[in-house]
Structure formats: structure tokens, C-alpha cells
Chains A and B, each alone.
Chain A
Amino acid sequence: MMSAGLRDIELRSRRTELLLVATVLIFSIPLILGYGLLILSSFSKEMVTNLNPHDFIPTLRNWILFFEGRTAVFGGIRVNIWHIVLNTLIVALGVSFLVTLVGSMTGYAVSRLKFSGRKRFMALLMLLHAFPGSVMVVGIYFLYLMFLPSYQLVRFYSFFFVIVARASLEIPMATWLMKGFFDMIPWEVEWAALVDGASRFKVWRKVILPMVKPGVAAVMLFGFLAGWMDIIYVRTFLVDQTLATWIESNINAEYSYLPLVAAAGTFYLLPTIIFFLLAQRLIFTISATGVKG
């Protein structure tokens, strides 16, 4: 096995390794504490964010209220929380799909095809990635207005637009990432398929893509997370609410029942964790290929 081989050449002593792990853990404490307290608060009648154990009064009420779509223990209105979850999923999966599709195709093109301006194109992609999404939102706003359809289609259009706009921010990075993976595949593998009469598209889909599964999984995961977590584009363009905007608009220091918001926040984390767990096997698989000389 490859992992056993790696261990053989490990030069660090066990003590150094333990020290390194401990250092990483110490620096991770604020992060772990933050998530831990959020999850604990979601099962408590009071927020436990001030680290007072007496504040932890176990209850499942927050989760029941959340699944009922309530915004308060008493009063407030009910929303269809599953509808909001579905909206979030549509955006996240849409972005993930588009980023993976375009990123892997473009990555393949810049890795394999020679065309004029290729290097400039690569540099431009990097430059595009350097712009934060919030800076581009004004320009994207005008694009949105330019193609605004009739009122019957606005809702559909807003989903389509958010997915395309959000994906466009992720595609440059995905392209670079995928290019790196494609570069590792020897040209001869592809050549054989082309000689057998397969089209470029077929080669890409049936021969090359299966060999870069970890790259595809990583790009999918990053795309999913970008769509799932987005708030600026969703808030600006989407007609419907997603979990991010719903949680944000229900945080009010005076009126909100914060343990309920903590339950919503914990739920908001779940799909990311699940998606990561499902994809991690693929992401951490090291693919090794070669040809006989």
C-alpha cells in the first residue's frame, strides 16, 4: 500500500509529531469552541456562549420549533422550512454542477489544447479569481437587469442567475485545479482513445474524467460550499429565501430566541459535513497512472 510506504520515509520523531498536533489543536480551539457552543446551544433553553455550565438546560424544543418553521417560541409566523432548504439545495447543487462541468472542461482545454492566447487566458483566470465577489456585484446587478424577463419567469430567472453568477466566481479556481489534475495524466492514454475513433468529448468524459475523480470531487465540494454558504448574491438577486438569508434576517438581539437560531445554524452546517464525508474518500484518494516506456 502506498500509505505504508509513506510512513517508512517519515523522518519526524513521534515527539515532534505530537507537538505539531498539539500546536494545531491549540490554534483550532476558538474554531472548535465556536462550533461546539453553537451545537450545544441548539440543545439548550439558553445560549451557552458565555461558557457558564448552568446555562445549559437540555431541550429538544429548539429543533422542534425549527422543523415547524417557527421564528419564535411564541407568536411569530410559520414558514415552510423545507421549502427554504430546497431553495438552498437548488443553489448549492446548481453552482456545484456548473462549476464542475465548466471547470473540468476548461481545465481539460487549457491542459491539452494549444490555442493562441492560452497563457493570457490562464493569467486572466487567475486575475478573475483575485476579485472578491462583493466587488463584482454592482456589474452583475446591471447584467441581471439587462436580461430581466417578464414577471412570470422572474423567479426561475433569479435562481438561474444566482447559480450562473455564483458559479462564475468559482470557475477560475476550479479550472486551475482541474488543469493540475489533467496535467498529471500522460498524453499517451488519451492518444490511444483518439486513434480508436473516440471524439474529444468522449475521451474527456469516458477516459480522462474517471482518472481525475479526486479533482472532480474537490471541485464539486468547493462549488457546493460556495453555493450553500453564499449570502451576498442570494440576498441581492434571489426572489426566494435560502437558509443563509433566513437565518440572517431572524437574528435580532432584542427579539430573537437565539437558541432557535442556534438550531438553524447547526442544521445549516449539516449538509456541508455530510457532503464532505461522502466526498472525502474520493478527495483523499491518490490516483497514480503511468505508461510503459
Chain B
Amino acid sequence: MKYYRALSKTAGIVIAIIIIIGIAAGAYYYIQSQKTTTGKLITFVPLTGDFHKDIINVGKALEQDGVKTVQFSVWSGGDPNSVMRIYGIVEAAYRINNIWKQNNINVEIKVSTRYVSNPNDVYEDYINKWSLGQAPDIMANGYTYIASLASEGYILDLTPYLNNYTSFLNQFYPTLIEAMKWKGKIYGIPQDTEARPLYIRKDVAACAGLDLSGLAEKIKNGQFTWSDLYKWALKVKESGCAPWGLIHRKGSAHPDLIQFIYAFGGKLYDEKTGKLVFDKAAVYKWFTVEKTFADHGLLPHDMMSWDWAKQIHPTVVDGKTLAFIGGTWHWFEWQTKAYYTDPKTGQQRPLTAEEVHKFFYYTLFPSGIKGKHGLTLSQPFAWMINSKAGEQNPNYDKLKDLYHELAFLVVVKASDPDIIAIHSLISGHLPVTKTAAELIKNKTWVEELKSLKIKLDPVVLNNIKGIIEKTVNPINVQFLANVTYMLEYTTFTPKHPQYPKLASLFAEALDQVLRDKMTPAQAVNFIVEKIKADPDLEKSVEIVGEIPQNWTFP
């Protein structure tokens, strides 16, 4: 006797339809993929170093291979003014599409973008998505990531391409190209860089009777050191001109404070062994300087946990400190974000360019040793190309090399002087090529940019015109020109995969010192213990030097 049926007729029909649709879809995509693989494919075009010629050859090859559209994606992150880190690629694609159109090549590059606040998030997402074939084709991110990405094979070795593009390569500052290398090979093209000036409030200094004339030169030559700055800060505090003598950024991996290690003659990386270096003497001196400032009420004890928007920036722009260890981009940020409390209205608003110029003096980071020149620190951003670039395009397995060449040429185009110069002028980062630096000095071009007469992809122009209107002015142009010399004195953080962990230890220990929970010597020993307790760090860090016994500050 039959009690029930397992499946009703309707349900059976629905399942059958789903299976048929699935088979049909599979067959359709199989036929489509077979269509594009017929005929002889051009899988590679020898690069000549002549961009125009190469891009036409690649375009023709793609057209012959039956590719009509190339999809590329670009990801980046950072402050809201640095959007050219993605729009640079959009603009480059627009220019290449125009070249192809003029040469009757029926191929088009389409670029999808993703830009977020946190560049580290972009890096982590890149790693997550790489194996799945979902990582972007091009990424603009900090050069420090090159080490881990290159060692895992996640990004393309650009050396073979650049061997044909030596004149292109020579446009960049050599130190920046060095920063793009990992084990002797070049894995990135510099996108931007920056300097970290020491900002000094002109009005606060004047109030305390401090003479700023020639200070930048004295710091450059090592005649004015941290001991002198401490004395100035003390004078400011005693005369009641400002509640603080020094304010700086916070966080775990911010390299601003690492400058202290270099300022006291220390180092962070040993080129010969490829290991990180923990220089006990230099770190001890750094902690001692900060502790002395904090003990005398010149630096907040809780500096490492201050709020950016409510405490750090308002303190600086409202003139409540003599000095601030910041970055070139802050000059622009203060003009776009409402950190300043207008004394007349009591309302918060951004500073005008004139006000920023009126309030701030800028110089290199002072040395800790008399006679040793001042310094700065850069963390250049790099264009990195996915080692699977073009994977989301037809016939990738066969046309891989061609897609890689195209991605490289897109990055070459994104390094056009005007694209780099626009990024510098709207974000406060420094140009990475000499030609872009020259362009920034060209008043006619700057005027064209300001009046939005410059020829750009309408999408790009529409997205950045608000930033251009607000930031492109003679004062900012002059600022960029004035700080570019700092690149001659620049230092870098190590490109070592374990460096972020070590930097976090520095921040943790410094916080304890500032809060008076550890002496500088205890903090140094704390870091040593932590390094020894972590197998990865112990393997990667070389501990050098000893805590100096007779050294005092100031």
C-alpha cells in the first residue's frame, strides 16, 4: 500500500528545469570560450621602451586576439585628498584608449576602482583575495608591503619590463627606486612620497621671544638639536605662550617617531644580514628625550592615546603647542578639515592657505647629535602589479604575458608628469619624478589646473575638481617646492615583513614610558624580552648596543 509520494509533480518539474538551465548555461560558456581560442594568438609583444609604439603594438595584438575590452581593477586607500592613487590609473586608461582610438584599434580598457580610508585594509584584502583570483590588477600601497607580497609571489617582478624602460626609470629619484626593490629586483613604481617636517608655530615662538630665522639651515647642519628644541619648549611653557612644547602623532606603526632612532645615529635594518636591528642605545635615547619632555609638562603623558580630530589637530592648529612632528600632507589637511576654532565666531572651520602659511614654520627633524645633519622619513607609495593581472579577462591562460605588459604600460602612463603633479598638488605628497617637480613650478600649468582647463578624463576631473579648487594655490605650490629638498635627507623604515610587529612594540613601550610606568631602560629591556619571546621576531631581529650609562639629556 502506498501512503505517500516523496516528491510532488510540481517540485519534480522545478528541479528538472533548474538542471536543464544549468546544463545550458555551462554549454553556452564552453562554446563562448572555444570561440575566442580559435586562430593563432599573439601572446607577447617585445617591448621597445618607446611607450607610444609599445601601446599600439599591444593594442593591435589584443585586437587580433579577439579581445575588445580589457577589465582592470585598481585599489588603494589613504586620506581623502589622495584619490589620484586610483584615478591615476583611470586617467592612464583614458589616455591609452584615446591613443588606440586615434589608431583605429578597437580595444578599450575599463577600470573599476576601490578606495578606502585604511591602506592596511587594502593590503589585507589583497592577500585574502589573491588566491581566489579576486585581488585587484593594480594596487597603490605603501612600499613596506613589497617585501611580503614579493616573497609570496603576489606581485609582478617589473625588472624585465623596466630593462627596456631605462629612460622612464631614470626620471624617478634614485632613492625611491631603491625603496621599490626586494632582493635586487624592482617590484613597484613610485606613486608618491612625502617628508615629515617638524612644524613650529611662528606665533608661539614669537610670543616666547624665539628667533626662527635661519633655523631650518641650523637644523640641516646639525647646529640645532633636540637639546635646543627642549630648551625652547621649556621657555614657551614658562612664559605661558602655549600649554605644550611638543605634540606628535600616535599609533603603532607610524614612522614619525622612528626618526628619533636615526637622529641618535641608530639603525633599524642591516642590509648585509637582511635582519631588522634593535639598537638599544638609540632607542634608549629616544625614550629619554620623550620622557624628559613629558616630565616637564611639555608633552602629554597620554600622548599615545590622544584623539586625532578632537585633540591632536586642534591643539596644533589652535596654537597650543610650539612644535608638531607631522607630515607634508598635514599642511593640506588643515585647509580641508574643520580643526581650527575661529576666535571671532567660536566655530570650527578649516584654516585658509594664508593662515597655514602665517602660523607654521617647517624644517627637517632635528638631529640628536651636535654636528649631525637633520633628517626626515619617507614612506613612498608604489604602484604594484598583481602577478595574475588580467585574470578576469578572456583567454587569460594564453594571453597572460600580454595582459601583464598592458598593466605595466598603464602604470607607465599613470606616471605621466601631470598625473603625478596633480596628485602632489591636491594631496600634499611630494612628486616622485624630477619632471613632475618641474611641472609644479610651471605657473601657467598650475593656473590651468586651478581653473580646471586641464584635459582630463571627465570622470576623474569631476571627482577631483572640489579638491583642486580648495588646495591648488600659490602658497601650497611654494610649500611643495620648499620641502622637496628634504628628500635629500630622507630615511626609510625597513621593508621587512616583521617590521610592523617591532614598530608596535616601540609604541607600546613608549606609551609606558610617557605614562611613567617604565623608565627608558626598563622599556628597552621590555622590548628585548618581547623580541626574545616571539620566535619570528627573535629570528628576524638583531639586538645591538647597550644602554648608555653616562648619557644625559638635555
Contact = CB atoms under 8 A, between A and B. Distances in A.
Given A154-B134, A198-B4, A199-B5, A78 B118 contact: no
Interface in B65-112: 77-81, 83, 86
B396 A151 contact: yes
B8 interface: yes
B77 A249 contact: yes
Contacts of B6: 199-201
Interface string A231-266: 000011101010000001111111111100000000
A152 B29 contact: yes
Contact of A74 (B121, B310, B336): B336
Nearest to B75: A249
A249 B121 contact: yes
A75 interface: yes
A236 B132 CA distance: 9
Interface string A187-198: 000000011001
B308 interface: yes
Interface stretch (A114-122, A124-132, A142-150): A142-150
Contacts of A71: 80, 115-117
A201 B8 contact: yes
A103 to B, nearest CB: 18
Contacts of B308: 253-254
Interface in B395-448: 396, 426
B17 interface: no
B7 interface: yes
B337 interface: yes
Interface stretch (B171-179, B462-470, B520-528): B462-470
A14 to B, nearest CB: 46
B48 interface: no
B470 A74 contact: yes
A248 B115 CA distance: 13
A78 B466 CA distance: 13
Given A74-B337, A75-B467, A250 B117 contact: yes
Contact of A75 (B3, B7, B81, B249): B81
A115 to B, nearest CB: 13
A250 B118 contact: yes
B392 A249 contact: no
Contacts of B129: 236
B4 A153 contact: no
Contacts of B249: 254
A84 to B, nearest CB: 11
Contact of B337 (A55, A73, A236, A237): A73
Interface residues of A, number: 47
Nearest to B312: A254
Interface string B4-40: 1111100100000000000000000100110000000
Contacts of A47: 309-310
Contacts of A153: 29
A102 interface: no
A77 B114 CA distance: 9
A72 interface: yes
Given A77-B113, A77-B463, A150-B33, A255 B78 contact: yes
A89 interface: no
B29 A150 contact: yes
A158 interface: yes
A202 interface: yes
B317 to A, nearest CB: 15
B49 interface: no
B546 interface: no
B79 A255 contact: yes
B4 A251 contact: no
Contact of A236 (B78, B86, B128): B128
Interface in B110-144: 113-118, 121-122, 125, 128-129, 131-134
Contacts of B348: 45
B473 interface: no
Contact of A249 (B7, B116, B391): B116
Contacts of A237: 132
A210 interface: no
A70 B250 CA distance: 26
Contacts of B221: none
A249 B122 CA distance: 8
Contact of B391 (A74, A151, A194): A151
Contacts of A50: 310
B438 to A, nearest CB: 26
Contacts of B426: 75
Contacts of A201: 5-8, 11
A46 B117 CA distance: 18
B393 interface: yes
Q: Choose among B81, B117, B310, B463 the residue with the greatest number of A CB atoms under 10 Å from its CB.
A: B117
Given A203-B4, A253-B308, A248 B80 contact: no
A76 interface: yes
A76 B133 contact: no
Given A76-B80, A77-B83, A253 B251 contact: yes
Contacts of A148: 132-133
Which of B4, B122, B129, B336 gathers most chain A CB within 10 Å? B4
A151 B133 contact: yes
B4 A249 contact: no
Contact of B3 (A144, A194, A251, A254): A194
A116 to B, nearest CB: 18
Given A199-B4, A235-B125, A249 B467 contact: no
Interface string B372-398: 000000000000000000011110100
B86 A252 contact: no
A25 to B, nearest CB: 30
Contacts of A199: 4-8
Interface in A15-66: 45-47, 50, 55
Interface of A: 45-47, 50, 55, 71-78, 141, 144-145, 148, 150-154, 158, 194-195, 198-203, 235-237, 239, 241, 248-258
Given A148-B132, A154-B134, A241-B114, 14 more contacts: A47-B309, A74-B337, A75-B79, A144-B132, A150-B33, A151-B133, A154-B392, A194-B3, A200-B4, A203-B4, A236-B129, A237-B132, A252-B117, A253-B251
23 contacts: A45-B348, A47-B309, A71-B115, A73-B80, A73-B337, A74-B337, A74-B466, A75-B80, A75-B466, A75-B467, A141-B132, A150-B29, A151-B391, A199-B5, A199-B8, A236-B128, A241-B114, A249-B77, A251-B117, A252-B121, A255-B117, A257-B309, A258-B309
Top 4 closest A-B pairs, CB basis? Answer: A75-B80, A72-B80, A76-B80, A252-B117
